Amino acid sequence: MLPFIFCALSIEAVSKAAQAMIEEVRRQFREITGIMEGTGKPEYENCVAISTHAALTQMILPGCIAIVSPILVGWLLGKEALGGLLGGAIVTGVMMAIFMSNAGGAWDNAKKYIEEGNFGGKGSRNHAAAVVGDTVGDPFKDTAGPSLNILIKLMTVVSLVLAPLF
């Protein structure tokens, strides 16, 4: 269950950061004249700050889950249960990582294929649907899928370091 919760939290973090970024870009377009013409200068540092802040704050809970769950399971239920937790997290985590990387790439490639003129090309309903799919696919292949490797490694390292206590 932990890889699924971890993925959900990381995708939600990307969603919140993206929404904050959209609001900031819209604010800059409203308040800074000439951005589209190239005469006004956007405030890039605000966007970098939003991204950095979101990356640090939104991943606190997923990071805590990766550290605290093996400690609690090992301490409360023992080493056998901890082995089961790690085995389950590894099996489901690897499968989820493969699925998310492939699905995200497939959505990205589908959008590119439609943009080449297939299935109605740009501006069609198929293109609009592919853009939505790519919006979901990017966090799959760029965030949640690759971060499962970190979840698995962090859980196993914490377990190995604290194994003598269990």
The pair of three-digit structure tokens given for residue 52, joined into one six-digit string: 């950095």
Segment 124-141, tens digit of pLDDT: 999 999 999 888 888 888
Q: CA 101 to CA 124: how far, in whole Å?
A: 26
Segment 81-97, tens digit of pLDDT: 999 999 999 999 999 99
Q: CA 112 to CA 10: how far, in whole Å?
A: 25
Segment 45-73, tens digit of pLDDT: 999 999 999 989 998 999 999 999 999 99
Instruction: Compute the half-sphere exposure of residue 107: CA atoms within 13 Å on the CB side of its CA.
Output: 20
Q: How far is CA 53 from CA 42, 65, 152, in A?
A: 19, 20, 24
